[in-house]
Amino acid sequence: MYNRNRLMELIRERALKFGDFTLASGKKSPYYLDGKQVTLSAEGLLQISWGLLELLQGIQFSGFGGMSIGADPIVGGVLVAAAAQNRPLQGFMVRKEAKGHGTQRFIEGPISPGDKVVIVDDVVTTGGSALQAVDRVQEFGCEVVHVVGIVDRLQGGEAAFKAR
């Protein structure tokens, strides 16, 4: 089951790095949170998946996804955790660029226009990546009912989500 303290410990031990970094937002930072160091570990993904399902209780949604590649392991983990709870849930991934062959879609996965979905991101700074996913999913025809980040760097992401 979900243990918030253990998840925080894993983030501090595995994801938090110090140095000179340029973030996806273009901002410079003396620290970096490499979320994949936690989401791509069995224990970390388990804690995140159970924690997200607990957090999202009471919200009605049938799709769960986010921007590839940060959200990809989280989506897989949440789908498995949902199945363990006998909760029907569909996952999806949002590409940065439309696939150049086949369906040529931005959205991959078994969601349909009209579905209510939750967008997830591993680390939120300004919220730009998650908002790009929101835009793509809305263009596809889904209703975004919630946006959630595993770690919020407290640099404007939450305000950007609320402004939408």
Q: What is the pLDDT of residues 109-147, one digit of tens each?
A: 999 999 999 999 999 877 899 999 999 999 999 999 999
- Number of Cβ within 10 Å of residue 42's Cβ equals 8
- In the chain, the number of structural domains is 1
User: 134: domain range?
Assistant: 4-163
Provide the strand spans (E) within 2-142. Answer: 16-22, 28-33, 63-67, 90-94, 107-108, 116-124
The answer on pLDDT for 35 being more than 80 is yes
pLDDT, position 23: 84
What does the mean pLDDT of the chain come to?
93
- Cis previous bond, 69, omega within 30: yes
pLDDT, position 11: 97
CATH of the domain at 85: 3.40.50.2020
- What are the pLDDT digits (tens) for 57-95? 999 999 999 999 999 999 999 999 999 999 999 999 999
The answer on pLDDT for 154 being more than 90 is no
pTM: 0.92
CA distance 66 to 88: 18
